[in-house]
């Protein structure tokens, strides 16, 4: 097929003008012979006018002459409008037959504004013309760039804002840290102050208690002496009065002991001695103490604890006894007339044993329950006739905590209360009875022959006098005394007594040091030494026994205990 | 739709009601686009959701909002740099309406994902014509009314528009009688 002939588009003038609306055909002398409709309208070129009156050839660099144009017929041509701010771009085509030159092209500008200034509309362009798309593309890219700039500015603003927020946050954090640091320091200072104050309070309570115990020891001791004196026996009414003094002193002593215990706990100095405790044995002992009081008050004691023999809990025996006694005496004190107290135990799901003491008292209001274990809070009973300090339950809670146990209460007003303690069960323990009897030592066995010498090293003259009075009941005893450790040591070495009773808190060298000195000398090292002290704490007793003291008696001295102890070492079985 | 449309809605709302309301509208519409980009394509649903949320917050019907937006569109595109191109669309109101399709043709060359509507005129008389609108997108006839009014404004001509036909199962396009 001959493509040249078959596919040449044979267009008529109208079709040609539609396809090339900006065409200009001119002759040798540059006279215009034909103009496309758009060129005619925009550039106002008419037939017969000269093309060079409307355009310069901007590219290639040529004068407007047909021979020159034809010499560059294959070149790209830009015709620059003389009147309008637009160019025509296109190509020159020689029409051989007519000996004319045809410019085929269209307006071009990189700016749509120039098209508008020239009065160009979309309709001026041939449909196939890409210039509009090109300009639209440019505008679109420009718009996209503007969008990007806007986004970038927004991001920048946001970043600045974020940075500002971050800086402020850091500043706030720093301030907060400083505030926290300063507050922590303040709190620490306050805490230290509070702790110091609390320690001072505990120390004060401890010292006061100790100081109170010493004169109380004398009061109780001499009272007992008066009661038991065979040399100067009292009349029965006098004995009754003395018993009242003794009873009140005993009560006072218990209070002092409670305060001392509480202060020791707060100082962190009270420790418990955990051991398997037979609940049966313990409660039997407690019942023996409480029953007379309950009977006197007309309160019935229902015991469901001692019915279960062989149950052991891990506890400090003495302290547990103290707690249960507290529950029971409270139950008696606050019970209704002809009420009852029931004691029973139960095994909890967590494996612990709960000891319950239930009373038929007036109960405790719910709002008061939370304060029940606070020290010195008697929940309004301070104005009642019932004696108490509000220490007992606080102490019980502290003690049970030390024993890894729990304490609690449930109560209904007008119905009564249930106090309980939860303790670990010692399932491996046997039924053996644990004794708190201090260990015995091997002593030379000899009968009391003639006067036996007992040396009492005691700085307090009243206590010394008391011991002297107690031992004077026995005529075969000779009491030697010394006011401090050094003198005591001298007397011991020179007289070699059969027994030494030694106060621990002595001026100069204390009881422990004196004891160590005694053990250094051949003549005194075998003499049994019994400590006598107002320090009634478990660890004080243990320390003395560990150091080698044969026995430990706590003040106030009980006549019977002292006599038995003396007898034990001077008249061994 | 291209982001340019959503940018236009954003611009209209901010210009009339402020940035805070626009943010409320976006939040209410659950459109989580921080900034629309003109040449990016977004789901049509975003645009519908924005207009729906705007109608609730501004207490206006969606038709009212679309009409306002159509009128604003000519102004907005000019502001975005397409003013010269719009100027080339026609010398007068009628010519402009007649050439909108051609303009869309060129735009489609730039934006391949564009699904432009079709517009054509009929019964062109000295002071009236029938304007035809065909699109796959539903509910935008009031946008076209606004658009015609905007073109009238461009040429300082007061126009009256009456919708003669709506797209139904029987009619494949909307038809408006435009008096000027």
Question: Is residue A412 within 8 Å of residue A363, measured between CB atoms?
Answer: yes
Closest CA of chain A from B168, distance in Å: 33
* Closest residue of chain B to A117, computed from CA coordinates: B84
Cβ–Cβ below 8 Å for B80 and A132: no
Residue A488, in any domain of the structure: yes
For helices B62-77 and B141-154, angle between their N-to-C axes, nearest 10 degrees: 40
Residues with Cβ < 8 Å from A287, sequence gap 6 or more? A301, A303, A306
Q: Which residue out of A120, A122, A142 would a mutagenesis test of the B interface target, given it has the greatest number of B Cβ atoms within 10 Å?
A: A122
Among residues A128, A143, A174, which one ends one of the domains? A128
pTM of the model: 0.49
- pLDDT score for A573: 52
Query: What are residue B162's DSSP bridge partners?
Result: B177
Distance CA A314, CA A353 (A): 10
Question: Is residue A114 within 8 Å of residue A85, measured between CB atoms?
Answer: yes
SS3 content of chain B, % helix, strand, coil (to 5): 55, 15, 30
Distance CA B135, CA B139 (A): 10
pLDDT 10s per residue in chain B (180 long)? Answer: 889 999 999 999 999 999 999 999 999 999 998 889 888 889 999 999 999 999 999 999 999 999 999 999 998 998 888 888 899 999 999 999 999 988 888 888 877 778 889 999 999 999 999 999 999 899 899 999 999 999 999 999 999 999 999 988 788 999 999 999
Residue A380, in any domain of the structure: yes
Q: Are residues A285 and A406 in the same domain?
A: yes
Task: Give the CATH number of the domain where residue B96 resides.
Answer: 3.90.1520.10
DSSP string, A430-455: -SPPP--PPPP---------SPEEEE
Residues with Cβ < 8 Å from A292, sequence gap 6 or more? none
- pLDDT score for B175: 95
- pLDDT score for A431: 38
Closest CA of chain A from B155, distance in Å: 15
The yes/no answer to whether this complex scores an ipTM above 0.85 is no
Q: Are residues A79 and A164 in the same domain?
A: no
Query: What are residue B163's DSSP bridge partners?
Result: B176
Query: What are residue A276's DSSP bridge partners?
Result: A314
Residues with Cβ < 8 Å from A418, sequence gap 6 or more? A356, A357, A358, A359, A409, A410, A411
Q: Are residues B35 and B87 in the same domain?
A: no
* Closest residue of chain A to B105, computed from CA coordinates: A133
- B-contacting residues of A 139-178, CB under 8 Å? 139-140, 142-144, 146-148, 150-151, 154
Task: Provide the 3-class DSSP secondary structure of residue A297.
Answer: helix
Q: Which residue out of A106, A111, A113, A121 would a mutagenesis test of the B interface target, given it has the greatest number of B Cβ atoms within 10 Å?
A: A121
- Region at A44 (left for phi over 0; alpha for psi -120 to 50; beta for the rest): left
Q: Are residues B54 and B72 in the same domain?
A: no
Task: Provide the 3-class DSSP secondary structure of residue A289.
Answer: helix
Nearest partner of A90 among A4, A21, A176, judged by Cα: A21
In A127-235, which ranges are continuous DSSP H helix?
A: 131-228
Q: In this structure, how many other beta carbons lie within 10 angstroms of the beta carbon of residue A193?
A: 10
Domain span including residue B48:
3-60
Q: Are residues B52 and B103 in the same domain?
A: no
- pLDDT score for A567: 85
**Chain B: residues touching A (Cβ < 8 Å):** 3-4, 7, 34-35, 37-39, 80-82, 84-85, 87-91, 95, 99, 102-103, 106-107, 109-111
Domain span including residue A119:
3-128
Q: Are residues B42 and B105 in the same domain?
A: no
Nearest partner of A480 among A511, A507, A462, A502, judged by Cα: A502
Task: Provide the 3-class DSSP secondary structure of residue A304.
Answer: coil
Residues of B in contact with A135 (CB under 8 A): 85
Number of structural domains in chain B: 2
Peptide bond preceding A556 in cis form (omega within 30 of 0): yes
Q: Are residues B80 and B40 in the same domain?
A: no
- pLDDT score for A448: 36
Q: Are residues A342 and A399 in the same domain?
A: yes
Residues with Cβ < 8 Å from A114, sequence gap 6 or more? A85, A86
pLDDT 10s per residue in chain A (573 long)? Answer: 454 556 667 788 899 999 999 999 999 999 999 999 999 999 999 999 999 999 999 999 999 999 999 999 889 999 999 999 889 999 999 998 889 999 999 998 878 888 888 999 888 999 888 888 888 888 888 888 888 888 889 889 989 999 999 999 999 999 989 989 998 899 988 888 888 887 777 777 777 777 787 788 888 888 888 888 888 888 888 888 888 888 888 878 877 877 777 777 776 677 788 888 888 889 988 888 888 888 888 898 888 888 777 788 999 888 898 899 889 988 998 888 888 898 988 888 888 899 999 998 888 888 888 878 876 655 555 445 555 556 788 888 988 998 999 999 998 887 889 999 999 988 775 333 333 332 222 223 333 346 788 899 988 877 887 888 788 767 778 888 888 888 888 888 888 899 999 998 888 888 999 999 999 988 899 999 999 888 777 778 888 898 899 999 888 788 888 888 888 888 755
Q: Are residues B18 and B79 in the same domain?
A: no
Q: How far is CA B83 from the centre of its chain?
A: 16
Question: Is residue A323 within 8 Å of residue A400, measured between CB atoms?
Answer: yes
Nearest partner of A469 among A245, A247, A229, judged by Cα: A229
Closest CA of chain A from B177, distance in Å: 25
- pLDDT score for A467: 83
Residue A167, in any domain of the structure: yes
Among residues A94, A128, A162, which one ends one of the domains? A128
Distance CA A483, CA A214 (A): 16
Cβ–Cβ below 8 Å for A121 and B95: yes
Q: pLDDT tens for residues A415-460?
A: 889 999 999 988 775 333 333 332 222 223 333 346 788 899 988 8
How many residues in total does chain B contain? Answer: 180
Closest CA of chain A from B110, distance in Å: 6
Q: Are residues B116 and B162 in the same domain?
A: yes
């Amino acid at each position: 097929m001959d493509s040249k002939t078959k596919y040449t588009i044979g267009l008529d003038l109208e079709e040609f003008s539609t396809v090339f609306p900006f065409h200009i055909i001119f002759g040798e002398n540059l006279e215009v012979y034909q103009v496309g409709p758009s060129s005619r309208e925009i550039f106002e070129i008419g037939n017969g006018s000269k093309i060079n009156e409307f355009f310069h050839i901007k590219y290639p660099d040529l004068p407007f002459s047909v021979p020159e144009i034809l010499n560059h017929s294959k070149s790209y041509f830009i015709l620059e409008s003389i009147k309008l701010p637009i160019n025509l771009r296109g190509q020159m085509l020689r029409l051989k037959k007519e000996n004319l030159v045809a410019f085929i092209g269209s307006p071009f500008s990189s700016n749509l504004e120039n098209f508008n200034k020239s009065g160009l509309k979309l309709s001026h362009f041939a449909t196939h013309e890409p210039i509009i798309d090109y300009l639209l593309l440019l505008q679109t890219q420009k718009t996209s760039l503007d969008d990007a700039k806007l986004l970038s500015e927004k991001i920048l603003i946001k970043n600045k804002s974020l940075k500002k927020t971050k800086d402020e946050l850091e500043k706030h954090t720093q301030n907060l840290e400083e505030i926290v640091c300063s507050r922590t320091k303040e709190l620490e200072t306050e805490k230290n102050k509070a702790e110091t104050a609390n320690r001072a309070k505990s120390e004060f309570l401890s010292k006061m208690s100790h100081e109170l115990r010493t004169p109380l020891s004398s009061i109780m001791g001499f009272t007992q002496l008066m009661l038991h004196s065979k040399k100067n026996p009292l009349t029965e009414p006098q004995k009754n009065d003395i018993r009242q003094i003794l009873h009140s002193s005993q009560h006072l002593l218990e209070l002092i002991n409670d305060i001392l215990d509480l202060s020791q706990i707060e100082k962190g100095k009270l420790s418990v001695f955990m051991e398997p405790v037979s609940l049966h044995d313990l409660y039997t002992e407690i019942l023996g103490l409480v029953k007379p009081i309950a009977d006197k008050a007309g309160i019935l004691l229902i015991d469901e604890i001692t019915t279960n023999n062989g149950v052991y809990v891990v506890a400090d025996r003495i302290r547990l006894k103290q707690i249960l006694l507290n529950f029971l005496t409270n139950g008696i004190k606050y019970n209704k007339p002809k009420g009852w107290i029931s004691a029973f135990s139960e095994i909890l799901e967590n494996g612990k044993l709960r000891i319950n003491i239930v009373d038929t008292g007036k109960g405790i209001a719910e709002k008061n329950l939370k304060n029940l274990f606070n020290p010195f809070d008697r929940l309004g009973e301070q104005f009642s006739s019932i004696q108490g300090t509000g220490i007992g339950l606080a102490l019980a809670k502290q003690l049970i905590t030390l024993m890894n146990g729990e304490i609690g209460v449930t109560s209904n007003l007008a119905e009564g209360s249930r106090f309980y303690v939860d303790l670990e069960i010692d399932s491996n323990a046997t039924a053996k009875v644990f004794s708190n009897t201090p260990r015995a030592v091997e002593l030379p066995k000899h009968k009391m022959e003639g006067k036996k010498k007992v040396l009492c090293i005691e700085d307090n003259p009243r206590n010394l006098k008391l011991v002297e009075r107690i031992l004077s009941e026995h005529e075969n005893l000779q009491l030697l005394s010394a006011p401090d450790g050094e003198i005591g040591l001298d007397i011991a070495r020179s007289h070699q007594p059969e027994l030494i009773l030694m106060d621990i808190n002595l001026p100069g060298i204390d009881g422990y040091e004196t004891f160590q000195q005694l053990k250094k000398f051949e003549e005194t090292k075998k003499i049994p030494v019994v400590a006598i002290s107002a320090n009634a704490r478990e660890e004080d007793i243990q320390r003395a026994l560990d150091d080698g003291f044969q026995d430990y008696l706590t003040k106030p001295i009980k006549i019977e205990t002292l006599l038995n102890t003396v007898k034990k070492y001077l008249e061994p079985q | 739709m291209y982001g340019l449309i959503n940018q236009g809605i954003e611009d209209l709302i901010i210009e009339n009601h402020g940035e805070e309301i626009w943010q409320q509208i976006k939040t209410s519409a659950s459109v989580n686009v921080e900034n629309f980009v003109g040449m990016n394509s977004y789901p049509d649903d975003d645009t519908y959701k924005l207009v729906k949320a705007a109608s609730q917050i501004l207490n206006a019907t969606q038709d009212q909002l679309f009409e306002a937006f159509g009128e604003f569109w000519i102004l907005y595109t000019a502001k975005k740099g397409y003013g010269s191109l719009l100027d080339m669309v026609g010398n007068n109101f009628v010519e402009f309406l007649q050439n909108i399709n051609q303009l869309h043709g060129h735009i489609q060359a730039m934006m391949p994902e564009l699904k432009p509507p079709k517009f054509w005129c009929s019964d062109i008389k000295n002071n009236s014509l029938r304007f035809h609108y065909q699109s796959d997108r539903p509910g935008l006839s009031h946008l076209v009314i606004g658009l015609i009014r905007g073109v009238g404004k461009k040429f300082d001509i007061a126009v009256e528009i009456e919708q003669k036909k709506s797209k139904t199962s029987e009619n494949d396009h909307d038809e408006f009688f435009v008096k000027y």
